[in-house]
Amino acid sequence: MIVLNPGAPARLYRNLGDGRFQDVTRTARLGDTDGARTALWHDVDGDDRPDLLLVLADGAARLLRGNGAGQFDDATAALGLDFGKPIVAAAFLDHDHDGRPDLKVELADGRLLLHHHLGGMRFETVELRPASSPSARAADDRVAELEARLARMEALLRATGAAGAATEGSGR
């Protein structure tokens, strides 16, 4: 069990199986976990030992491979987890249903990437959604504003139409 502490290193506890937990942070060799805000357990390399993906306070990801003896090795570089921009969200899911969970990450620049699992420690990065440019965001805002205005006009027309029908009715 990993406990995340905003602004402080994460702490790792081992379940002793009798309802007690032992703090194994010091012996687990987790390295830098300062301000980690996301922790995902997943057996990335398929060796039946749980690995740990962390997203740190600055949005950088780290992958810690479990060695089965309660310690972890940093495999961040091997996994190619430097996406150039801070990560705002990350999740493991099998995007293409090939039985190997892939890593989906959303970056601060609006990009949505699929870190497609090819087997073992091999991954390829596929862009699912490009970065949103400031002009694209402004255009989206304009479309949203126009839609809102249209909705208000439709509501007004409906109200006016109903009032008109009522007036006709009362005229008889």
Q: State the nearest-atom distance from the C-beta of 94 to Ca ion, in Å.
A: 4
Least distance in angstroms from the C-beta of 95 to Ca ion: 6
Residues between 60 and 99 with contacts to Ca ion, criterion CB under 5 A: 94, 96, 98
**In terms of CB distance, is 126 or 148 closer to Ca ion?**
126
52 touches Ca ion by CB under 5 A: no
Closest CB to Ca ion among residues 57, 91: 91
- Binding segment for Ca ion among 10-18, 44-52, 122-130, 136-144 (CB under 5 A)? 44-52
Between residues 29 and 149, which has the closer beta carbon with respect to Ca ion? 29
Residue 8, φ and ψ in degrees, nearest 5:
-145, 165
Our finding on whether 47 is near Ca ion (CB under 5 A) is yes
Q: Does 49 bind Ca ion (CB under 5 A)?
A: yes
Whether 114 and 95 have beta carbons less than 8 Å apart is answered as yes
Q: Is 113 in the site for Ca ion (CB under 5 A)?
A: no
Question: Of the listed pieces 6-14, 27-35, 53-61, 102-110, which binds Ca ion according to CB under 5 A?
Answer: 102-110
Binding flag, residue 51, Ca ion (CB under 5 A): yes
DSSP letters for the chain: -EEEETTEEEEEEEE-SSS-EEE-TTTTT----TT--EEEEE-TTSSSS-EEEEE-TTS-EEEEEE-SSS-EEE-HHHHT---SS-EEEEEEE-TT-SSS-EEEEEETTS-EEEEEEEETTEEEEEEEEPPPPHHHHHHHHHHHHHHHHHHHHHHHHHHHHHHHHHHHHHH-
Number of residues in contact with Ca ion under rule CB under 5 A: 10
The CA-based diameter of the chain, rounded to the nearest angstrom, is: 90
Binding site for Ca ion (CB under 5 A): 43, 45, 47, 49, 51, 94, 96, 98, 100, 102
